[in-house]
Chain A
Amino acid sequence: MSNVDFNKETGPREVFCGLTSIVWLHRRMPDAFFLVVGSRTCAHLIQSAAGVMIFAEPRFGTAILEEKDLAGLADAHEELDRVVNDLISRRPEIKTLFLVGSCPSEVIKLDLATVAEKLNTRFLGQVRFVNYSGSGIETTFTQGEDGALKALLPLMESTDDEKLLLVGTIANNVEDRFKKIFNNIGITNVESFPPRQSTELPKIGKNTKVLLTQPYLSDTARDLKHRGCEIIQAPFPLGVEGSTKWVLAAADAFKIPELKVHEVIAPLANRARQALEKHTEILRGKKLFLLPESQLEISLARFLHNECEMELVEVGTPYLNKDLMEQELNLLPDDTKIVEGQHVEKQLDRVRASNPDLVVCGMGLANPLEAEGISTKWSIEMVFSPIHGIDQAADLAELFSRPLKRNQILTSKSLATF
């Protein structure tokens, strides 16, 4: 492992909870509904993060706990039953219903697993129920997806067929590109998890080789391993370098010669490096500070340093799984300062003291930092934009060069200079 500088911090945080991942999960599986069992705060959080109003009727909602639900748990279970019945009669097209635990439901120990089990019996053949927790006392932001995928694993049948399984939600067009590349190098049986329909779950087994597309799937990866799958060690497919090494790792697992991979990838990589150049011109030598939020921070830091030549001031991450991140950490320059966890006030002190050119942070912090004259990129954009893969490398760089470019445009013509 490279010589990075690990630090831990605790204190007040500025991070979303795992419920937020419903926003992209429900889009990936259009036949699924996500029902949060929580409070008005949970409902308000998701609608604030997701811009819910654009939907006639969104495929996620909250069963809001009321005072009488807190008084007796038995009643709460009955109430949840009633809400689910209403929901299913209203939305008969729903094939999978995720019961999503929240901070309050975890604290009052509402047993969603038992509820899901009962409902599964009752709605057998019509709707499947799974449960997981997206609560902020246990999960941050993208970790919610880890919980949702882990919850689906028991439903997945076994197979001994050899296959490559891409795990983690990625944009559909990116998924298609990946499959094409794998086909071209000779891996033809490629499937994705989560699938595009919740009912079309891939089968898994001892000949399934898992390639993670996202760095926040620790629990899912562990359970896949328990089911006999091989977890391919690789950096994550962000940027040309990460994506190339990611494909190479898969090729290695399928015993495909490296030369074959380079044959397929070289023209794509050349094209991508050319496209990257104009962003690198803007990003080169600029100081970057990443606050913890999406869990993509380490991979982004690696990309922005190695390919866009930015200087890394500090790389925050909500939590660190050194096993999953090993390959990424090896690619970071020596002495990179990694901070796991957060004390938001102290971290902002360090932001101000280090005077970075760009800060990656959450939406709550971005405008206040801009008002202090510090350019920002808000991290939620990383989970909504197609950023994975070689073809997307320039688009990914553009997310970071745009605020700097904009800053240049606005300051050079600002009123102050007239």
Chain B
Amino acid sequence: MELTLWTYEGPPHVGAMRVASSMKDIHYVLHAPQGDTYADLLFTMIERRGQRPPVTYTTFQARDLGGDTAELVKRNITEAVERFKPKTLLVGESCTAELIQDQPGALAKGMGFDIPIVNLELPAYSKKENWGASETFYQIIRTLLKYKPNEIEKINPQRWKSLGRRPKVNILGPTLLGFRCRDDVIEIQRILSEQGIDTNVVAPLSSSPDDITRLTDADINICLYHEIAETSCEWLKRNYGMEYTTTIPIGIKNTINFINEVHEKLDLPLTNKKELEHKSKLPWYSKSIDSNYLTGKRVFIFGDGTHVISAAKIAKDELGFEVVGLGTYSREMARQVRAAAKDLNIEALITNSYLEVEDAMKKASPELVLGTQMERHSAKRLGIPCSVISTPMHVQDVPARYSPQMGWEGANVIFDDWVHPLMMGLEEHLIDMFKHDFEFVDGHQSHLGHTATKGPENKEDEHEPSNVSIQKKGSVLWTDSGKAELTKVPFFVRGKVKSNTEKYALSKGLPEISDETLYDAKAYFS
């Protein structure tokens, strides 16, 4: 039993819903009680979808449990097939139905429908949302390709040459409620078509069962989100020899690496290498002297595996930040995230507890947090600027404008989204300096949310680390001169300076901290 106040991922059947809702001509009969219908609002409210998710909930009640719940399942399946006429039916159960063991998938298969039926067994008490999405996608591909005779022994990625057509690829992994998937797909397709590469199928997003049966027409697969598509890509490789790319095209370096990887696999000469350097504004913006102040900014990163690994690389290599914390809630990607952290000489934080993340954030005293919406809230409480880089999704993460994370435009978006909160941070510093001037209007803390007046979320326990009582810790006492000097330190490093100075004073056995001690400590640590 695990005490959970908030969770980064939903249950696995929500992952299945993400795949089902992303696709066309598909319906999902979910053996579940009425409360589970809450999941619909994730799609209709967060994604602002104008259609209901294609899901029928069997809605069993306590009084049904003594009777025949299997009959209830069958009735719902019959009605759903008649009403929605899907080309493929998914059948599964949520946590409660798993306990009563009606085996709805097996029931459905015995009902004599002439459409493919995908039996989803998603263990609700050990697995989570992303796993559920990945497993569902994989089971759909397996089931649908089984209906298609295997004409090809092994797909040669270079076969396009002998077939006399342009190379074509599948883009696998984008789903609804995935971070900026909608726009990433557009960006990646644009990049590929510039290189003369066609897209065969994008899936699950906007694909139909018919599209899934055409997957083997492509020369290679592009695994866009490992969390969702890696299992499927592996299976396609094992069974059809289809190669797949592993580079995630987020950031300039990895977009170029991605393009190279695609070209190598297809054996397609890359003709416009030089041009690629100028596709995004990020390299120049990062080099321009205005960005000097970004050097060595301490950044703390937490989110899903795909986005944190990419973010760490961009932060370090493309913006010149120092990564002081890296972690993920994606246990399936713990190994990769640990390796990325090791390269940065830090230890990865693998956890599903946002309070642990908040503690780690506090200890790392970063100047910028890149995280999920939850880290945005934690950072806000700590007075640290934050940019959101990962699911779980919030209505703000589905912007009206084109806003990818991948490719050239993705790099532009990332530069703006990560650097602007820091600008605001500087602005805040100015406010700090000038707050005693008569022009100053209280409440103008622009990076802390979008309103000048403090919203309800600020009330709970908002405080700046710099304001914590100065004499609280141990035996070290701050003298008046020490305190005065500390207040002159810019707010965004004040917390760090304070703890370093105390650490220094303790290590030297000093009874109190004066302004001179502060400078001694500064010299000691620099």
Instruction: List chain B residues, Cβ under 8 A from A65.
Output: 1, 125
B5, B56, B60, B124: the one within 8 Å of A58 (CB) = B5
Closest residue of chain A to B3 (Cβ to Cβ) is A83
In the complex, are the beta carbons of A52 and B95 less than 8 A apart? no
Min CB–CB distance A307 → chain B (angstroms):
30
Q: Mark B23-53, 1 if CB is under 8 A from A, else 0.
A: 0000000000111111111101100111110
In the complex, are the beta carbons of A137 and B38 less than 8 A apart? no
- CB of B508 within 8 Å of the partner chain: no
Kindly state the separation between the CA atoms of A204 and B3 in the bound complex, as whole angstroms: 36
Instruction: List chain B residues, Cβ under 8 A from A285.
Output: none
Min CB–CB distance B388 → chain A (angstroms):
11
Instruction: List chain B residues, Cβ under 8 A from A239.
Output: none
Kindly state the separation between the CA atoms of A38 and B58 in the bound complex, as whole angstroms: 20
Q: Mark A58-86, 1 if CB is under 8 A from B, else 0.
A: 10111111110110000010011011001
- CB of B168 within 8 Å of the partner chain: no
Instruction: List chain A residues, Cβ under 8 A from B460.
Output: 54-56
Given A15-B37, A45-B38, A371-B51, A69:B61 Cβ within 8 A: no
- CB of A345 within 8 Å of the partner chain: yes
Instruction: List chain B residues, Cβ under 8 A from A61.
Output: 3-5
- CB of B437 within 8 Å of the partner chain: no
Q: Tell me whether chain A's interface is mostly helix, strand or loop, or mixed.
A: helix
Question: Which parts of A1-57 form the interface with B (CB within 8 Å)?
Answer: 11-20, 38-41, 43-45, 47-49, 52-57
Kindly state the separation between the CA atoms of A256 and B292 in the bound complex, as whole angstroms: 78
Min CB–CB distance B192 → chain A (angstroms):
32
B14, B56, B57: the one within 8 Å of A44 (CB) = B14
**Total contacts A-B at CB 8 Å:** 193
Given A13-B37, A48-B42, A57:B125 Cβ within 8 A: no
Given A43-B7, A66-B2, A368:B35 Cβ within 8 A: no
B94, B99, B126: the one within 8 Å of A66 (CB) = B126
Given A40-B124, A57-B355, A364-B40, A107:B100 Cβ within 8 A: yes
Segment among B151-159, B224-232, B236-244, B373-381 that sits at the interface with chain A: B373-381
User: Which of B34, B60, B460 lies at the interface centre, i.e. has the most chain A CB atoms within 10 A of its CB?
Assistant: B34
Kindly state the separation between the CA atoms of A150 and B50 in the bound complex, as whole angstroms: 40
Instruction: List chain A residues, Cβ under 8 A from B36.
Output: 41, 45, 136
A15, A20, A54: the one within 8 Å of B377 (CB) = A54
Closest residue of chain A to B49 (Cβ to Cβ) is A367
Instruction: List chain B residues, Cβ under 8 A from A58.
Output: 5-6
Given A15-B34, A70-B125, A106:B62 Cβ within 8 A: yes
In the complex, are the beta carbons of B374 and A86 less than 8 A apart? no
- CB of B165 within 8 Å of the partner chain: no
**Interface residues on chain B, size class:** 35 or more
- CB of B83 within 8 Å of the partner chain: yes
- CB of A362 within 8 Å of the partner chain: yes
- CB of B313 within 8 Å of the partner chain: no
Min CB–CB distance B245 → chain A (angstroms):
32
Closest residue of chain A to B2 (Cβ to Cβ) is A64
Closest residue of chain A to B99 (Cβ to Cβ) is A107
Min CB–CB distance B494 → chain A (angstroms):
21
Kindly state the separation between the CA atoms of A364 and B37 in the bound complex, as whole angstroms: 8
In the complex, are the beta carbons of B41 and A364 less than 8 A apart? yes
In the complex, are the beta carbons of A40 and B95 less than 8 A apart? yes
Question: Which parts of B73-124 form the interface with A (CB within 8 Å)?
Answer: 76, 79, 83, 94-96, 99-100, 123-124
In the complex, are the beta carbons of B60 and A47 less than 8 A apart? no
Min CB–CB distance A393 → chain B (angstroms):
26
7 residue pairs of the A-B complex, CB under 8 angstroms, read A17-B35, A41-B124, A43-B6, A55-B460, A137-B62, A345-B79, A365-B40
Q: Which residues of A contact B (CB under 8 A)?
A: 11-20, 38-41, 43-45, 47-49, 52-58, 60-67, 69-70, 76, 79-80, 82-83, 86-87, 103-104, 106-108, 135-138, 140, 345, 362-368, 370-371
Which 9 interchain pairs have the tightest Cβ spacing? A17-B35, A371-B50, A136-B35, A364-B40, A79-B1, A39-B95, A103-B96, A136-B33, A54-B457
Q: Which residues of B contact A (CB under 8 A)?
A: 1-7, 9-11, 13-14, 33-42, 44-45, 48-52, 56-62, 64-65, 76, 79, 83, 94-96, 99-100, 123-126, 128, 355, 373-374, 377, 381, 456-457, 460-461
Given A367-B50, A368-B50, 4 further pairs, Cβ under 8 A? A15-B37, A43-B4, A47-B6, A107-B65
